[in-house]
């Protein structure tokens, strides 16, 4: 993979990357080592190209390190008339990877905001979700990052983000609970202080308002 872009990762990660950014050949060699460690022969016909495939897959899985979510929200529109009600984008499907085991997290994100003078293109909200999802993540941080980025860029009266996701580290290994899912919420501004707004949000996403009636 290419080295992370400045400003898209933590200071510790940037410092680590500055010491030595592995080459593609080094990344492929690491995959061969894992294949050997698992007990297979990386030179077997079916596995011979696997290191290259895995490296290309990682470039897609973690492409979010190369993108700046703030730049996606740089263009906003003030021509929304006097609209100041909730904007809700439901069922944004995402795929991420658990930073503890590097296995998938797959789920849905629901995002809402209360405009203050300006709105943003709806596709940009989905792209912000993708930028953060395509990094090594935990669901709690992913929820907060999406909400805080929208709040900082749009300065709305409120932001709500709810994620409902399955973690393959729970469903395919460890405790093996395939029916389990995890729900995380982040409320900012009026969504945090107004239970009626939260009720409207839950009704909008098709869930019981009682499930999210408290801050």
Positions annotated as catalytic residues are 98-101, 139, 167, 169
**R_g of the chain, CA atoms, integer Å:** 20
**At 2, phi and psi to the nearest 5?**
-75, 160
Closest listed residue to residue 164, CA positions, set 146, 179, 149, 185: 185
Count of C-beta atoms within a 10 Å radius of residue 33: 12
What is the rounded distance in angstroms from the CA atom of residue 200 to the CA atom of residue 198? 5
- Cβ count near 48 (within 10 Å): 12
State the burial class of residue 74 (Cβ atoms within 10 Å of its Cβ: 0-12, 13-18, 19+).
exposed
Q: Give the other-Cβ count within 10 Å of 160's Cβ.
A: 29
């Amino acid at each position: 993979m290419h080295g992370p872009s400045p400003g898209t990762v933590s200071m510790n990660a940037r410092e680590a990357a500055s010491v030595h950014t592995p080459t593609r050949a080094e990344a492929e060699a690491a995959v061969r080592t894992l294949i050997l460690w698992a007990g297979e022969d990386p030179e077997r016909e079916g596995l011979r190209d696997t290191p290259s495939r895995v490296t290309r897959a990682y470039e897609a899985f973690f492409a979010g390190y190369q993108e700046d979510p703030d730049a996606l929200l740089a263009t906003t529109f003030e021509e929304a008339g006097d609209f100041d009600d909730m904007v809700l984008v439901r069922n944004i499907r995402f795929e991420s990877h658990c930073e503890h085991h590097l296995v998938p997290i797959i789920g849905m994100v629901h995002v809402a905001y209360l405009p203050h003078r300006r709105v943003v293109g709806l596709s940009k909200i989905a792209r912000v979700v993708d930028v953060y999802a395509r990094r090594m993540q935990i669901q709690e941080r992913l929820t907060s990052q999406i909400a805080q980025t929208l709040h900082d860029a749009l300065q709305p009266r409120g932001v709500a983000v709810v994620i409902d996701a399955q973690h393959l580290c729970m469903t395919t290994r460890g405790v093996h609970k395939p029916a389990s899912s995890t729900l995380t919420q982040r409320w900012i501004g009026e969504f945090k202080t107004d239970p009626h707004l939260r009720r409207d949000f839950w009704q909008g996403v098709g869930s019981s308002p009682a499930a999210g009636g408290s801050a």
